[in-house]
Structure 1
Amino acid sequence: MPPHDVFSALANPVRRRLLDALRDGPRAVNDLVSEFELSRPAVSEHLQVLRQANLVKEEPRGRQRYYHLEPQPLDEVREWLHPFEHYWRARMRSLRDLLDEENP
Structure 2
Amino acid sequence: MFVAIYRWRIDPDGEHDFVANWHRITRRGLAAGSGGSSLFRDAEGCWVAIARWESRQARDAAMRSLAGDAVDAELSERARRAVLQRFPDQELDGVLDCWAPLPANPTAQGRSR
Superposed pair shares fold, TM > 0.5: no
**Greater helix share, 1 or 2?**
1
TM-score (norm 1): 0.30
The two structures have a TM-score, normalised by structure 2, of 0.28
